[in-house]
Structure 1
Amino acid sequence: MAAAPAPRFDAIAFFTGHSEGRAKLKTLFSAPVDVRVVSDGTVEDGTLHLVQTVQEGGKPPRQRTWTMRETSPGHYRGTLSDARGAVTGEAEGNRLHLSFTMKGGFPTEQWLTLSPDGHRAHNVMKVRKLGLTVGVLVEDIRKD
């Protein structure tokens, strides 16, 4: 799907405040699992600090944290507590592409598409191992 020129996906603005995501996670050789993500983001000195509570199927909730900073127009760099190394991102129009490596060595990419009203984002995350897609998460994120 090609990016639309507007609205511009500003990751810092979108994830500041409260948002909730509902998703389906499909991993290799497993049935799809419901996932709920509750996020609260604040900005300090231009850096987004995002705290998420993730409820995956019947597992106990867990927390993860992100930091993200716009390094140049439409380009982002940050961290994720579930990742090894940096998170990088690039926005083009209403789409945001994030790349990182999960702990355990799983290359991961996310494509988020901002809705025309700017209050929702469609997220598709793909996790790979040895070039094979081993997990796909499809999520609808809604901002309060």
Structure 2
Amino acid sequence: MAAALALLAGLSGCVSAGRLPPARADAPALDALGFFAGQSCGEGTLKIALRRPRAVTVASVGRWGSDGGLILDQTVTLAGQPATQRQWQLRRDGPSGVAGSLSDAAGPVTGRIEGNRLHLRFTMKGGLRADQWLALQPGGQMLHNVMIVRKFGLPVARLDEVIMRENR
């Protein structure tokens, strides 16, 4: 067990938790569900420990469910791999909370909205813990998305992405 923890500690040095998108006074407040209603697209880079960074693109279509929550269907393409599908189901949970599910998560998704940022947390399959920060940028049409994935509390992967709303 000690050897495994030492290996993980060494691997985490390859992936930095780095800087997160800052809260910005010059950006509008984030309507975390409303931003994703309709079409959006994301482009970014995924860095996994001991692997080369890879380009990732995400095409999203969001619609309102009968319960007033958001259903977000996504096609995720990681360079060199076939596209995969996933679905988020999110709803407001109190004045600044978000709750729901993600098809490739191992449990519930929880989140908190603070000004122009949304912080989501969930457990991925394999016991990986994900912390995701989405920060609305000035103009209200673009989000900066940073997701840090941890194993035993150590960062093992990082996604940096820009998400743009389409046709609005």
- TM exceeding 0.5: yes
Q: Following superposition of structure 1 onto structure 2, how do residues 132-143 of structure 1 map, counting pairs within 5 Å?
A: 132-143=154-165
Tell me, yes or no, if the aligned pair for 2:104 and 2:125 is still in contact at 8 Å.
Answer: yes
The residue aligned with 1:24 is 45
TM-score (norm 2): 0.83
The residue aligned with 2:76 is 54
Over alpha carbons, which structure has the higher Rg?
A: 2
Q: CA deviation at 1:4?
A: 2.9
TM-score (norm 1): 0.96
Tell me, yes or no, if the aligned pair for 1:25 and 1:137 is still in contact at 8 Å.
Answer: yes
The whole-number CA distance in structure 2 between the counterparts of 1:4 and 1:57 is 32
Identity of aligned residues (%): 50
Tell me, yes or no, if the aligned pair for 1:123 and 1:138 is still in contact at 8 Å.
Answer: yes
Higher helix share: 2
Unaligned runs of 5+ residues in structure 2 are: 1-20
The residue aligned with 2:15 is none
1:93 to 103, 112, 115: 115
**1:20 counterpart letter in structure 2:** C
Q: List 4+ stretches of structure 1 deviating above 6 A.
A: none
Q: Following superposition of structure 1 onto structure 2, how do residues 29-40 of structure 1 map, counting pairs within 5 Å?
A: 29-40=50-61
The residue aligned with 2:126 is 104
The whole-number CA distance in structure 1 between the counterparts of 2:73 and 2:126 is 22
Tell me, yes or no, if the aligned pair for 2:22 and 2:135 is still in contact at 8 Å.
Answer: no
Tell me, yes or no, if the aligned pair for 1:22 and 1:140 is still in contact at 8 Å.
Answer: yes
Aligned residues: 144
The whole-number CA distance in structure 2 between the counterparts of 1:86 and 1:25 is 23
Unaligned runs of 5+ residues in structure 1 are: none
Q: CA deviation at 1:74?
A: 1.7
The whole-number CA distance in structure 1 between the counterparts of 2:133 and 2:157 is 14
Q: CA deviation at 1:116?
A: 1.3
